[in-house]
Amino acid sequence: MRRFLREHSLTLVFGGLFLAALVGQLFAGHADYNERQAALGQPLLTLGSYLFSADFLVDVVENWQSEYLQFFLYVTATVWLIQRGSTESKPAEKAGRETDEEQQVGAHVKKDSPKWAKAGGWRTAVYSKSLGLAMLVLFLISWALQWVAGWYANNSDPLAEKMGLFDYFLSADFWNRSLQNWQSEFLAIASMAILSVYLRQRGSPESKPVGSPHSVSDRSG
């Protein structure tokens, strides 16, 4: 058990932080929602009712979709785009899909390579893009949930203009929710890419060694 916890500590810690933050958001969001309802003279919701409400769901998934969009764009764009000296970038000479030897596919698979990497054909082709595809699917699912939940929450608001599902997709509220999250994610990626050229965090795989030259792109530790 101790070995399992150590080897999976990154996922376990951030999974725990996610759950703690989600519970905190539930309580804070519930209090905020009831404050607004009371000010308008509208009925209050219990914590359980708020948990399953469109208002809570849309607030949760609008952040999820922007995170998955960030990772989808990041893992796909960094195949071709580079930032010299950044640990978030490959060296210029490695830009692109790289050779079968570098990617350990085809005639260069290893004995312990994943099953679909060895399979060849469409399975290897899909597996070679599976991380980006997974992030894209998760983005589209969470964005669709934001769309439907936001529409339902809007139509449940007695002061809001009632509209159809497609009309809500074209509404200012939907795109304001989406774009305010997207711009922060794009800024975060750009900031990390350029700051990792010049700044260091000793021992982190997201940073170059403290004494590594600024121009080195593919070294971490």
How far apart, in Å, are the Cα atoms of 158 and each of 26, 29, 43, 145, 204?
Answer: 22, 19, 11, 22, 50
Residue 86 main-chain phi, psi, to 5 deg: -95, 140
CA dihedral 120, 122, 124, 125 (to 10 degrees): 130
Model confidence over 176-217: pLDDT tens digits?
Answer: 999 999 999 999 999 988 988 888 888 888 888 888 888 887
Model confidence over 173-187: pLDDT tens digits?
Answer: 999 999 999 999 999
Q: CB under 8 Å to 107, separation ≥6 — which residues? A: 100
Give the rounded percent of residues in the chain with a pLDDT score beyond 90: 54
| pLDDT of 159 | 76
| pLDDT of 221 | 44
77: pLDDT strictly greater than 70: yes
- Pick the closest to residue 129 from 72, 185, 82 (CA basis): 72
Model confidence over 85-124: pLDDT tens digits?
Answer: 888 888 888 888 888 888 888 888 888 889 888 888 999 8
Q: What is the pTM of this model?
A: 0.86
220: pLDDT strictly greater than 80: no
Give the rounded percent of residues in the chain with a pLDDT score beyond 70: 98
32: pLDDT strictly greater than 60: yes
19: pLDDT strictly greater than 70: yes
Dist. CA 205–CA 52, nearest whole Å: 39
